[in-house]
């Protein structure tokens, strides 16, 4: 066990996957000798050779299309899109082919491939470099969509994604690349499709994922000054969704707030709110609320702080959860 950053944990996961399985190939824009824009693939080409980790032309649709062919041929490609909005030219390949090939061939062909996408904000990037595009992928049947909130989960989830027989969209929160914690490489964490409770509490559940997990945990600590005992659930897997863990938490606390950076209208949090409301209605003390990014194109770097949910915005939303009202008892 050693203290490393999330970027280093991802690098370790890629190295171990390449070492353990000759079918694993890493390719994309600048992932070779440069080591990627965020240095996630740093040193892999030097250590394993250009036949295992190599650069491609700047053509995202070509990168994913090439990966589809490689996966059909028995390889396990891991491709990088470099930035979230750069992946949009490959969207047709992802939705029309990556997500549908198993169904189209009645299970004769699977695509064990991983599409790594650095996503979300918090780095002072400009438009086209800071999108939160998770809802596009979770709306597409046939894709697994996961996102780590901690360095340990970055290692575990990426190893599991590479081993998966299904195509996985792997969303990496850019602003957490430099966060550090002690990481074990034993892969004893939760299964890839399970959420985890990061902090136990009894008054309200904060449901977060990716870049907002750390913000939710910070909020939970700050909430103690207001007399609130806050539970934090890290979704980890956006699709499939772990109803069991999430609803068990909300039934215990009776209140819930969903937090994400993406725009609110039609955002991923709306699906979470719907599922929680349908399954926990009689245990809820108040409506399930959301804290999200604004319904605008991503703002310039100097205005980014207004776009991102922070501790104060989340606490203000928690305060709206009808704390003076008694829960409604079914049948009363």
Tokens standing for residue 327: 């829960």
Which residue from 163, 212, 159, 226 is spatially nearest to 187, judged by alpha carbons?
Answer: 159
Tokens read off for 211:
């870049």
Lateral strand order in the sheet of 204-208? 196-199, 230-234, 204-208, 256-263, 289-293
Q: Which of 128, 129, 260, 285 is catalytic?
A: 129
SS3 240: coil
Compute CA distances 170 → 107, 137, 155, 225, 248, whole Å: 23, 10, 12, 36, 26
* Residue 327, strand partner residues: none
Q: What is the rounded distance in angstroms from the CA atom of residue 127 to the CA atom of residue 297?
A: 8
Catalytic, 129? Answer yes
Instruction: Describe the strand order of the beta sheet including 237-239 as a list of residue ranges.
Output: 53-55, 24-28, 76-80, 114-119, 168-173, 144-146, 237-239
Which two tokens mark 239?
Answer: 């699709």
Q: Can you list the alpha helix ranges (DSSP code H) found in the chain? A: 6-20, 44-48, 60-72, 91-93, 101-104, 134-138, 151-163, 212-223, 243-253, 268-280, 304-307, 311-318
Read out DSSP for 133-147? -HHHHHTSTT-EEE-
Distance CA 136, CA 169 (A): 11
Q: How do beta strands 230-234 and 237-239 pair? A: unpaired
Tell me the β-bridge partners of 181: 4
Cα separation, 272 vs 238, in Å, equals 10
Tokens of 68: 């589809």
Active site residues: 129
């Amino acid at each position: 066990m050693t203290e490393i950053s999330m970027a280093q944990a991802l690098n370790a996961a890629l190295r171990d996957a390449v070492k353990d399985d000759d079918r694993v190939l890493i390719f994309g824009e600048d992932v070779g000798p440069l080591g990627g824009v965020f240095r996630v693939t740093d040193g892999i080409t030097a250590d394993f050779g250009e036949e295992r980790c190599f650069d491609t032309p700047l053509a995202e649709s070509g990168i994913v299309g090439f990966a589809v062919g490689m996966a059909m041929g028995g390889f396990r490609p891991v491709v990088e899109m470099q930035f979230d909005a750069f992946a949009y030219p490959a969207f047709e390949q992802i939705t029309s082919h990556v997500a549908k090939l198993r169904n189209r061939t009645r299970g004769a062909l699977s695509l064990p491939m991983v599409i790594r996408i650095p996503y979300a904000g918090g780095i002072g990037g400009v438009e086209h470099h800071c999108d939160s595009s998770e809802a596009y992928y979770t709306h597409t049947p046939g894709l697994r969509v996961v996102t780590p909130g901690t360095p340990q989960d970055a290692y575990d989830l990426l190893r599991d994604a590479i081993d998966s027989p299904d195509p996985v969209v792997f969303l990496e929160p850019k602003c957490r690349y430099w966060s550090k914690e002690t990481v074990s490489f034993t892969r004893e964490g939760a299964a890839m499709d399970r959420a985890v409770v990061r902090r136990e509490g009894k008054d309200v559940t904060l449901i977060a994922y990716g870049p907002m997990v750390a913000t939710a945990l910070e909020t939970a600590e700050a909430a103690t000054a207001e007399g609130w005992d806050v539970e934090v659930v890290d979704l980890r897997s956006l699709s499939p969704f772990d109803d069991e863990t999430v609803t068990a938490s909300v039934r215990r606390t009776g209140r819930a707030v969903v937090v994400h950076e993406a725009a609110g209208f039609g955002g991923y949090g709306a699906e979470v709110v719907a599922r929680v409301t349908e399954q926990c209605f009689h245990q809820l003390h108040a409506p399930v609320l959301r804290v999200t990014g604004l319904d605008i194109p991503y703002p310039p770097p100097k205005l980014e702080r207004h776009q991102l949910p922070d501790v104060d915005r989340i606490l203000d939303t928690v305060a709206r959860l009808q704390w003076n009202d008694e829960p409604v008892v079914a049948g009363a």
